[in-house]
Amino acid sequence: MQHLESPSQHASAYPVSLRCPSCRQIGVFTGHQNVTDLNWKSSNSGSIALRHAGVRICPNSDCRAIVFVVVQANDILETYPLQLIDFDASSLPAPILRSLEEAILCHGAGAYRASALMVRRVLEELCEDRKAAGKDLFARLQALKSSVIIPTELFEAAHELRLLGNDAAHIEAKSYDDITEIEASLALELAKELLKAVYQYTSLVARMRAMKKQ
């Protein structure tokens, strides 16, 4: 939340680099000629910094989304809608895509525990879709390992993520209470890699094999 602390003045909007909340491309967003930024001085721990708030427009001609930004020098303090982690939605089953999008939305909003729970759900749905059985999520992921192309090291490192741990026992042990941004981001990256291995490599391999038959 931004607060205006000193008299405001208006200035023309300067370009900022963003990942578009709508088309998810990275680009240099510029302002609109008829819309000026609101500028103000903000005091933070004794130092004074100039902040700007205004609208910027996506440079992608198919998108042209309007994004509200608050910036200080080269730092983007806030955007609305939120900037979100990029992901590849191709070939994902609809329920898994819905859960993944929700995990990414929670992450973008800083709701890391909620994001971690949704990542877990993504992985549960993935195992269910691929009929990977086992007594808990880890066992199910291990079962999945035998049928997908993914480095063994990635599965082993996944053990380090507490949020993928032993189901209800971990929730009772409050493993989720101190999920950090880093852990939530890593869990999302792992989920994206597993989804890529299961759905997107398979789709690529099938398309290439189809070429051979032509």
- List residues near Zn ion by CB under 5 A: 20, 22-23, 58, 60, 63, 65
Q: How far apart, in whole angstroms, are the C-alpha atoms of residue 38 and residue 181?
A: 30
Q: At its nearest, how many Å lie between Zn ion and the CB of residue 151?
A: 33
DSSP 196: I
Q: At its nearest, how many Å lie between Zn ion and the CB of residue 196?
A: 23
Q: At its nearest, how many Å lie between Zn ion and the CB of residue 65?
A: 4
Q: At its nearest, how many Å lie between Zn ion and the CB of residue 91?
A: 23
Residue 38 or residue 82: which is nearer to Zn ion going by CB? 82
Pair 187, 158: CB distance under 8 Å: no
Q: How far apart, in whole angstroms, are the C-alpha atoms of residue 193 and residue 149?
A: 10
Residue 23 or residue 77: which is nearer to Zn ion going by CB? 23
Residue 10 or residue 32: which is nearer to Zn ion going by CB? 32
In what helix (H) or strand (E) does residue 162 lie, and over which residues does it extend?
none
Pair 16, 26: CB distance under 8 Å: no
Residue 60 or residue 203: which is nearer to Zn ion going by CB? 60
Question: Encoding tokens for residue 34?
Answer: 């008829």
